[in-house]
């Protein structure tokens, strides 16, 4: 049974997710709830009015690199529910990740006459997922570097304590930064502090170091 406009208002107006109702040919948007304006940062009129089809209006707010994918999803048969993710460009220019779902609405004869769609902003989930992938890639690269360093002989100059790396003689600091991406700062160990203190004591006492 198809959904009337009044039923759509009664059911969907207060939801946090975007809900829309459209004709099965993607040509006319019948209803979109107020959440569209909050999530997309655009007036609902961009989908509900004008000479463009609903599909054309929707594609205009989709992130350019995702339009071919969304267009392909729109061409899929409506007989079965579908779920997919894509990006949109909000009215303020911000890019947001959207998880969209749609399902068919049938008439009494079982024919698909409408479809109802739901969209939710999942940007925070996608950002967390991308950050996790980045960290895993860094871990993978670091593990590979450590494996390679264990297998290779590291040559260090006995006099200058510089390390032969990538065809150059570099300091330990440079080696750590270039090989393992380890940031390096400087400090003084207790042993060095003790040695320096002894030297200072000898200088102030007029000992051998003063000569």
Q: Any idea what the CATH number is for the domain that residue 82 is in? A: 3.30.450.20
Confidence at residue 23, expressed as pLDDT on a 0 to 100 scale: 85
Asked if residue 165 belongs to a domain, the reply is: no
Task: Assign 31 to helix, strand or coil.
Answer: strand
Confidence at residue 210, expressed as pLDDT on a 0 to 100 scale: 46
Phi and psi at 164, nearest 5°, equal -85, 110
Confidence at residue 199, expressed as pLDDT on a 0 to 100 scale: 85
Confidence at residue 89, expressed as pLDDT on a 0 to 100 scale: 94
Asked if residue 59 belongs to a domain, the reply is: yes
Asked if residue 196 belongs to a domain, the reply is: no
Residue 50, classified by CB atoms within 10 Å of its CB into exposed (0-12), middle (13-18) or buried (19+), is: exposed
Q: pTM of the entire structure?
A: 0.59
Confidence at residue 87, expressed as pLDDT on a 0 to 100 scale: 95
- 47: which residues sit within 8 A by CB, 6+ positions away? 20, 29, 32, 36, 54, 57, 58
106-120 pLDDT, tens digit per residue, is: 888 888 888 888 999
Q: How far is CA 118 from CA 57, 73, 104, 154, 191, in A?
A: 17, 14, 12, 58, 66
- Whole domain around residue 39: which residue ranges? 5-121
How far is residue 111's CA from residue 106's CA, in Å, rounded to a whole number? 5
Asked if residue 96 belongs to a domain, the reply is: yes
Structural domain tally of the chain?
A: 1
Residues of the chain with pLDDT under 70: 1-2, 8, 11, 49-52, 149, 206-211
Asked if residue 135 belongs to a domain, the reply is: no
Centroid of chain to Cα 119? 18
């Amino acid at each position: 049974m198809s959904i009337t406009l009044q039923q759509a208002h009664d059911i969907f107006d207060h939801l946090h997710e975007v809900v829309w109702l459209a004709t099965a040919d993607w040509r006319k948007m019948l209803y979109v709830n107020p959440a569209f304006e909050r999530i997309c940062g655009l007036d609902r009129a961009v989908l509900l009015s004008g000479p463009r089809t609903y599909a054309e209006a929707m594609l205009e707010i989709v992130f350019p690199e995702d339009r071919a994918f969304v267009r392909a999803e729109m061409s899929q048969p409506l007989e079965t529910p579908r779920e997919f993710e894509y990006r949109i460009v909000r009215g303020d220019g911000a890019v947001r990740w959207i998880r969209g779902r749609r399902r068919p609405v049938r008439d009494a004869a079982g024919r698909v006459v409408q479809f109802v769609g739901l969209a939710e902003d999942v940007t925070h989930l996608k950002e967390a997922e991308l950050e996790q992938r980045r960290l895993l890639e860094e871990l993978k690269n670091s593990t590979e570097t450590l494996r390679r360093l264990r297998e290779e002989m590291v040559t260090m100059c006995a006099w200058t304590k510089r390390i032969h790396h990538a065809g150059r003689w570099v300091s330990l600091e440079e080696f750590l930064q270039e090989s393992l991406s380890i940031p390096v700062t400087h400090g003084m160990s207790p042993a060095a502090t003790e040695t320096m203190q002894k030297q200072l004591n000898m200088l102030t006492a007029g000992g051998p170091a003063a000569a």
